[in-house]
């Protein structure tokens, strides 16, 4: 039987609703938990998460800030506030929050990944690699950490390191579409167009409605002289609404 005076029960219900994408219901439950216990830092943190999920970013930051005010050592609240700031393009503010979260708790791989992504956006690729490496040390089965480190290495033109990390990510998760795409694009850049086509083929097996992948595979086919194959891929991309596919057909297939 539910206890209507137990804030933890409302937090639990809110979390379950958030998992089902019922963010309105989740927010209502977190709000009720806070009415019952105004100094419940966890409720504010989860309230912020639900608002972040619906892109109510400023309000989410207010909730995370309240959670931090109640519990100044709440590492996850600093991390989540950093995520909201990142979404608002306040990258320096996000880095500050990630730094504080890591100062408080160095065992959460996600915080290092989030800071690494932000550093990558700021073109601090070496700093990003350090963060992704730390995340991998914490959790060596996180495909996303290997993928993100590969992307940073790719930006530094460390193609060997990038391919190794993309390969490792795919060993962990064979259905990681973005990794196939990134590895395919890298292969294109180094002139391995057949290898690029193979990766784009695999990506399209997983996500056959991805217009960008048809565009990329078409570029690979065009590069090896398969004009008809390129036209077919770009025509499919056009059907899926890609804005430059028709231009590519006119430019390369006329």
Q: Nearest Cα to 50, choosing from 75, 79, 20?
A: 20
How does 75-85 read in b/e, with b if 16+ C-beta sit within 10 Å?
A: bbbbbbbbbbb
If you search the block for the tokens 């565009």, which residue do you land on? 215
DSSP 76: H
Distance CA 244, CA 225 (A): 20
Question: What's the pLDDT tens digit per position in 135-189?
Answer: 999 999 999 999 999 999 999 999 999 999 999 999 999 999 999 999 999 999 9
What does pLDDT average to over the chain? 96
* Superfamily of 174-254 according to CATH: Tetratricopeptide repeat domain (1.25.40.10)
Cα(first)–Cα(last) distance of the chain, in Å?
71
Rounded Cα distance between 213 and 235, Å, is 12
Predicted TM-score of the model (pTM): 0.92
- Which pLDDT value is given to residue 217? 98
Task: Determine whether 102 is exposed, middle or buried from the number of CB atoms within 10 Å of its CB (0-12, 13-18, 19+).
Answer: buried
Q: How far apart are CA 242 and CA 194, in angstroms?
A: 23
Give the position of tokens 């690029």. 196
- Mean pLDDT for the stretch of residues 99-108: 98
Q: Where are the alpha helices (DSSP H) in the chain?
A: 7-19, 23-36, 41-53, 57-70, 75-87, 91-104, 109-121, 125-138, 143-155, 159-172, 177-189, 193-206, 211-223, 227-239, 245-252
Angle at 172 between CA 165 and CA 50, to 5 degrees: 100
Q: Which residue has the tokens 């100044």?
A: 72
Nearest Cα residue to 192 out of 205, 201, 183: 183
Question: What are 46-88's pLDDT values in tens digits?
Answer: 999 999 999 999 999 999 999 999 999 999 999 999 999 999 9
Instruction: Return the number of other C-beta atoms located less than 10 Å from residue 194's C-beta.
Output: 12
Is the pLDDT score of 1 beyond 80? Answer: no
pLDDT for res 5: 83
Query: Of 88, 142, 71, which Cα lies nearest the Cα of 111?
Result: 142
């Amino acid at each position: 039987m539910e206890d209507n005076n137990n804030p933890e029960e409302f937090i639990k219900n809110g979390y379950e609703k958030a998992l089902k994408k019922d963010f309105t219901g989740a927010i209502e439950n977190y709000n009720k938990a806070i009415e019952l216990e105004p100094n419940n830092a966890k409720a504010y943190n989860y309230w912020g998460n639900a608002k972040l999920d619906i892109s109510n970013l400023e309000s989410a930051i207010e909730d995370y800030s309240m959670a931090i005010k109640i519990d100044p050592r709440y590492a996850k609240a600093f991390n989540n506030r950093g995520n909201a700031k990142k979404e608002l393009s306040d990258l320096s503010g996000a880095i500050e929050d990630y730094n504080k979260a890591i100062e408080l708790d160095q065992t959460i791989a996600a915080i290092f990944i989030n800071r690494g992504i932000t550093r990558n956006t700021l073109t601090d690729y070496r700093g990003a690699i350090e963060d992704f490496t730390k995340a991998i040390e914490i959790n060596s089965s996180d495909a996303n950490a290997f993928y993100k480190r590969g992307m940073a290495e790719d930006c530094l033109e460390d193609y060997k390191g990038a391919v190794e990390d993309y390969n490792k990510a795919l060993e962990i998760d064979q259905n990681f579409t973005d990794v196939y795409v990134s590895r395919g694009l890298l292969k294109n850049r180094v002139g391995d167009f057949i290898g690029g086509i193979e990766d784009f083929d695999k990506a399209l097996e997983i996500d056959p409605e991805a217009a960008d992948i048809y565009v990329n595979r078409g570029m690979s086919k065009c590069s090896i002289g398969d004009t008809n194959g390129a036209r077919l891929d770009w025509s499919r991309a056009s059907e899926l609404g890609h804005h430059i596919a028709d231009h590519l057909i006119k430019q390369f297939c006329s």
